[in-house]
Amino acid sequence: MTAFRLLLLSLFCTLFVYQCHGACAEVDSDTEAVAGKGFKLGCISCKRRSEVKGSATVEWFFRPRGEADFVQIYTYSDDGPIIENDQFMDRVDWNGSKRSNDIQDASIYLLNVTFNDSGTYRCHFNRILFFDNYEYNTIISKVVHLTVVAKATRGTASIVSEVMMYVSIIGLQVWLLIEMIYCYRKIAAAGEEALREAANAEYLAIASESKDNCAGVQDIGYTKFFVGLQIKPQYVLVFLHLISKTVMYQKLAMISSSDL
Q: Poorest-confidence range of 145-149, 163-167, 203-207, 232-236?
A: 232-236
Q: Poorest-confidence range of 21-25, 69-73, 82-86, 96-100?
A: 21-25
Our CA angle for 7, 17, 128, nearest 5°, is: 150
**Mean pLDDT along residues 186-193:** 75
pTM across the whole model:
0.53
pLDDT grade for 204, boundaries at 50, 70 and 90: low
Please state the separation of Cα 205 from the chain's center in Å: 65
**Mean pLDDT along residues 50-68:** 91
Question: What mean pLDDT is reported for the chain?
Answer: 76
Percentage of the chain surpassing pLDDT 70?
Answer: 65
Dist CA 44 CA 108 (whole Å): 11
Dist CA 49 CA 13 (whole Å): 25
**Mean pLDDT along residues 209-225:** 45
Residue 173, helix vs strand vs coil: helix
Our CA angle for 54, 56, 58, nearest 5°, is: 160
Q: How many helices (H) and strands (E) does the chain have?
A: 4, 9
Identify which of 117, 77, 82, 83 has the alpha carbon closest to the alpha carbon of residue 100. Answer: 77
pLDDT grade for 124, boundaries at 50, 70 and 90: very high
Dist CA 50 CA 243 (whole Å): 52
Dist CA 94 CA 59 (whole Å): 12
**Mean pLDDT along residues 96-100:** 86
**Mean pLDDT along residues 108-118:** 94
